């Protein structure tokens, strides 16, 4: 087996001791992640050969194994400068069994299906396409990896911290003697993102070195760990509410929940929390919560800032479809920018797995009679239309069971249009809505509940929907005006003779499967009110939509009470950047399409809006955005039910285990600050931030208070941002978390932190106190 780390030549006895230590460490990590003695874990730790597939001619055998930290996958590489390569379990988005990637479908035979699997990464790193020697081995690799990933995800914050610190200590132990010298302790502190002066480090060391041996070992390291992870701010809270024998009784806990957490609870609820999270059996028997149990509770869903009741689908899903904000993607096929970035089915999968419920398909005539998807008039690569539809069918309802809208930008000639319709009908089958629900002409949209597991096609239609109920209303191919976005795209890319009134021949077969989302040109609110049916919807470029939202907000809201509106980024955004979606939501626009492939503040807001309601991709609009008689105006803010003036007090207390931004520089310690941002109607937009803490990303403490006024809480989003302060250049973002104001819990709350791609940063978080008061 290949050597896993660079090391000097060891004697046979030294190697035996080394391997025994590796087994001990692997066993301890297996225990820490709840997989002690697990057969699948032992299989991964032993490792084995897999064939790495990159092309039809590049298929190489490489050795893969899980390292003893039970978190790092190592594989050999024959590249000159990268003989040993690793990646973290935390970097894995999913493990897919079978030929479930573009690479494996293209470069392997169908008969090898059961031997193949892919590792998909959270970042834009390329998929790892692999083939095992047998079906059984492939299954065990997939099962084992999924089990480790799930166990890591399900660890509580305390367990993640313990696992992380244990392995950081190992890395600091340069000579592998299971002891820690003062020099190694200083190295360890830098590794976990703390820069301390020598005096403090030595004080810590002496305090723990009870044996006065000049090294820390065994229980001394355990004491050092306890000192390091001690949460003084939690001690203060615990002591304040502990009235009995130094431990928190069920009555004390109930008092804390009522007073601080602003929860409507009974004594029985407090008892249930004790029995759920208390670690000490003796305390549990006496219905008491120790400090450790209290900290455990604060790290669980009940102690987080997001209301646990909102993690499930909790809203009424039986309203008409246009009464919801719908998570929507623009240029969904792109993995990067819209000039030369790759198009991929993987981009659709990633968006759908993030609960995106409206995806865009830019369809063009392709070779061999098969339509393709790409960004027209650019150097972006092409992907087959039928492969995209297959991927959408496979992944549409894995995260959310509510309907997916296929937004077609059709540039194809008649023959390939007919093939598009054929592919959608044959691949999507009965899940595709091909006629109105019910036996009579509808007067409103069906609901997300009625459309569970179904696909709707958005595009041009040759006739009215009531043709389904009129036997003599058949139509043949005819010309229709091109989509506004398509016309704009061709104009911006300099295609001669194109204008917004360009015509395209439309096939009856494609027209017939457009049911509830017929695309029509917008000619003003009065025209739409008098001439458009409820199922006829318009698309608006961001600048047009912003102008309407700012200058005709109430009229726009009335329009969106009856009809759907789709907003899309300007074609001039060649880097696939995003616009601010909040003003569009304030005006009741449902399909506010963003570039999901581009990490940005705007995508953070989108992820925040759609975080609650079971991450279903649908959020019910407030009642005043669903009422045809509403007088709501987000700019003028007249009196009405929408005005529920609140005072938000936020105390930023501390942070825990913030990641280093430059892991290659051992001395690069972060100087964190926290910024709180409010988004919503213009009157509510605000930003405030703490001072920065020098050289401490492990356990910085601020204890700073901030006050915000929020006039329309139902439309407000709260964003917490942690940055690394830099006096000479722009601050680097460490992590952020965004959620709706109405989904925020009061009291002492932990806040997880997300990467720029929206993934949770393991162990890292903020600790805050939230108080929401009615304005007098």
Residue 618 marked as a ligand binder? no
- Residue 362 annotated as binding? yes
For residue 9, say whether it is annotated as part of any ligand binding site: no
Residues 6 or more apart whose Cβ sits within 8 Å of residue 296: 156, 158, 277, 278, 279
Distance CA 190, CA 470 (A): 75
In the chain, the largest separation of any two C-alpha atoms, in whole Å, equals: 98
**For helices 414-428 and 385-395, angle between their N-to-C axes, nearest 10 degrees:** 20
The number of residues making up the chain comes to: 776
**Is 695 annotated in some ligand binding site?**
yes
The position carrying tokens 């995106």 is: 356
Token pair of 186 as six digits: 């200083």
> Is 724 part of any known ligand binding site?
yes
| 120-141 burial: b if 16+ Cβ within 10 Å, else e | bbbeeeebbbbbbeeeebbebb
Structure tokens at 348: 């659709």
Instruction: Of 295, 250, 241, give the one whose Cα is nearest residue 274.
Output: 250
Catalytic sites, residue numbers = 330, 375
669 appears as a binding residue in the annotation: yes
Signed CA dihedral, 521, 527, 529, 531: sign only: negative
Tokens (6 digits) for 399:
């995260």
Q: Could you tell me which of 415, 351, 353, 423 has the C-alpha nearest to residue 384?
A: 423
Q: How far apart, in whole angstroms, are the C-alpha atoms of residue 347 and residue 369? A: 24
Q: Which long-range contacts (C-beta less than 8 Å, at least 24 apart) are formed by 296-301?
A: 296/156, 296/158, 297/273, 298/234, 298/748, 298/750, 298/767, 299/156, 299/157, 299/158, 299/750, 300/156, 300/276
Round to whole Å and give the CA distance between 695 and 670.
Answer: 6
Give the pairing type, strands 760-774 and 646-656: antiparallel
The answer on whether 539 is annotated among ligand-binding residues is yes
CA 66 to chain centre: 26
Is position 576 annotated in a ligand binding site? no
Would you state the structure tokens that stand for residue 691, as one six-digit string?
């001072």
Hey, CA dihedral for 207, 212, 214, 219, is it positive or negative? negative
Apex 593 CA angle, 588 and 598, nearest 5: 135
- What whole-number distance in Å separates Cα of residue 478 and Cα of residue 461? 10
Is residue 209 marked as binding? no
| Closest residue by Cα to residue 360 from 569, 562, 575, 616 | 569
Q: Are 723 and 673 in contact (CB under 8 A)?
A: yes
Token couple for 431: 């899940």
Q: Please name which of 333, 332, 315, 337 lies closest in space to residue 324, comparing C-alpha atoms.
A: 315
Q: Is 731 annotated as a binding residue?
A: no
Residue 584: phi and psi, rounded to 5, are -70, -40
Under 8 Å CB-to-CB from 20, ≥6 apart: which residues? none
410 is in an annotated binding site: no
Q: Which residues contact 428 (CB under 8 A, 6 or more apart)?
A: 389, 392, 393, 455
The edge-to-edge listing of strands for the beta sheet with 116-121 is 82-88, 72-79, 59-66, 48-53, 128-131, 116-121, 92-97
Q: Which backbone phi and psi does 106 adopt, to 5 degrees?
A: -85, -35
Q: How far apart are CA 478 and CA 156, in angstroms?
A: 60
Closest CA to 352 of 381, 389, 309: 389
Chain centroid to CA 725: 25
Q: How far apart are the first and last CA of the chain?
A: 72
Would you list which residues are annotated within the binding site for Ca(2+)? 331, 360, 362, 409, 669, 671, 695, 724-726
Would you list which residues are annotated within the binding site for substrate? 458, 460, 539, 566
Would you list which residues are annotated within the binding site? 331, 360, 362, 409, 458, 460, 539, 566, 669, 671, 695, 724-726
């Amino acid at each position: 087996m290949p050597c896993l780390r660079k090391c000097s030549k060891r004697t046979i006895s030294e190697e035996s001791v080394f391997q025994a230590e590796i087994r001990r460490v692997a066993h301890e990590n297996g225990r820490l992640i709840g997989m002690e003695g697990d057969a699948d874990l032992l299989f991964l730790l032993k490792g084995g050969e897999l064939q790495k597939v990159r092309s039809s001619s590049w298929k190489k055998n490489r050795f893969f194994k899980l390292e003893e930290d039970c978190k790092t996958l190592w594989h050999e590489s024959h590249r000159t400068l990268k003989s040993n390569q690793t990646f973290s379990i935390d970097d894995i988005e999913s493990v897919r069994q079978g030929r479930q990637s573009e690479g494996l479908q293209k470069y392997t035979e169908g008969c090898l299906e059961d031997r193949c699997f892919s590792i998909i990464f959270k970042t834009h790193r390329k998929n790892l396409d692999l083939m095992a020697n047998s079906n059984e081995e492939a299954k065990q690799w997939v099962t084992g990896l999924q089990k480790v990933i799930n166990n890591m995800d399900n660890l509580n914050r305390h367990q993640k911290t313990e696992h992380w610190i244990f392995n950081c200590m190992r890395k600091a132990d340069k000579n592998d003697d299971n002891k820690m010298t003062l020099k190694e302790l200083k190295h360890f502190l830098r590794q976990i993102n703390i820069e301390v002066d020598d005096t403090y480090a030595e004080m810590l060391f002496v305090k723990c070195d009870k044996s006065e041996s000049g090294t820390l070992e065994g229980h001394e390291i355990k004491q050092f760990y306890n000192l390091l992870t001690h949460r003084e701010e939690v001690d203060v809270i615990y002591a304040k509410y502990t009235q009995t024998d130094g431990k928190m009784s069920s009555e004390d806990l109930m008092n804390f929940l009522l007073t601080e957490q602003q929860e409507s609870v009974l004594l029985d609820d407090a008892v249930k929390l004790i029995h759920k999270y208390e670690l000490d059996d003796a305390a549990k028997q006496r219905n008491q919560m120790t400090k450790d149990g209290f900290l455990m509770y604060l790290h669980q869903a009940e102690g987080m800032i997001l209301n646990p009741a909102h993690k499930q689908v909790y809203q009424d899903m039986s309203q008409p479809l246009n009464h919801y904000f719908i998570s929507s993607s623009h240029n969904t096929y792109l993995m990067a920018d819209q000039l030369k970035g790759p198009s991929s089915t993987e981009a659709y999968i990633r968006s759908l797995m993030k609960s995106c419920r409206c995806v865009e398909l830019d369809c063009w005539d392709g070779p061999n009679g098969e339509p393709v998807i790409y960004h027209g008039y650019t150097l972006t690569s092409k992907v087959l239309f039928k492969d995209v539809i297959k991927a959408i069918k496979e992944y549409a309802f894995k995260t959310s069971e509510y309907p997916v809208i296929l937004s077609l930008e059709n540039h194809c000639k008649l023959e390939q249009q007919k093939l598009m319709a054929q592919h959608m009908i044959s691949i999507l089958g009965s899940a595709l809505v091909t006629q109105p629900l019910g036996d009579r002409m509808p007067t409103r949209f069906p609901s997300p509940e009625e459309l569970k597991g179904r696909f709707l096609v958005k595009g041009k239609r040759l006739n009215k929907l009531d043709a389904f109920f009129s036997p003599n209303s058949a139509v043949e191919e005819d010309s229709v005006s091109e989509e506004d976005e398509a016309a704009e795209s061709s104009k911006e890319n300099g295609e001669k003779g194109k204008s917004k009134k360009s015509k395209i021949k439309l096939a009856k077969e494609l027209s017939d499967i457009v049911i509830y989302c017929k695309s029509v040109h917008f000619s003003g609110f009065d025209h739409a009110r008098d001439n458009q049916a409820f199922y006829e919807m318009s698309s608006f470029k961001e600048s047009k939509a912003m102008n309407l939202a700012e200058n005709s907000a109430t009229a726009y809201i009335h329009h969106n009470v009856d009809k759907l509106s789709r907003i899309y980024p300007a074609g001039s955004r060649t880097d696939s950047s995003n616009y601010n979606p909040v003003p569009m939501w304030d005006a009741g626009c449902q399909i506010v399409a963003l570039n999901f492939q581009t990490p940005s503040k705007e995508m953070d807001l989108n992820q925040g809006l759609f975080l609650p309601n079971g991450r279903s991709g649908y959020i019910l609009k407030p009642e005043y955005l669903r009422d045809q008689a509403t007088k709501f105006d987000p700019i003028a803010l007249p009196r009405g039910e929408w005005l529920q003036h609140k005072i938000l007090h936020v105390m930023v207390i501390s942070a825990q285990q913030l990641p280093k931004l430059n892991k290659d520089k051992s001395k690069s310690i972060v100087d964190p600050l926290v910024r709180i941002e409010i988004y919503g109607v213009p009157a509510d937009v605000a930003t405030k931030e703490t001072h920065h803490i020098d050289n401490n990303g492990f356990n910085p403490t601020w204890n700073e208070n901030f006050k915000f006024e929020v006039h329309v809480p139902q439309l407000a989003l709260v964003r917490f941002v942690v940055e690394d302060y830099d006096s000479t250049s722009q601050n680097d973002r460490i992590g952020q978390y965004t959620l709706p104001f109405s989904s925020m819990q009061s009291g002492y709350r932990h806040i997880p932190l997300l990467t720029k791609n929206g993934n949770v940063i393991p162990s890292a978080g903020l600790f805050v106190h939230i108080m929401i008061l009615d304005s007098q």
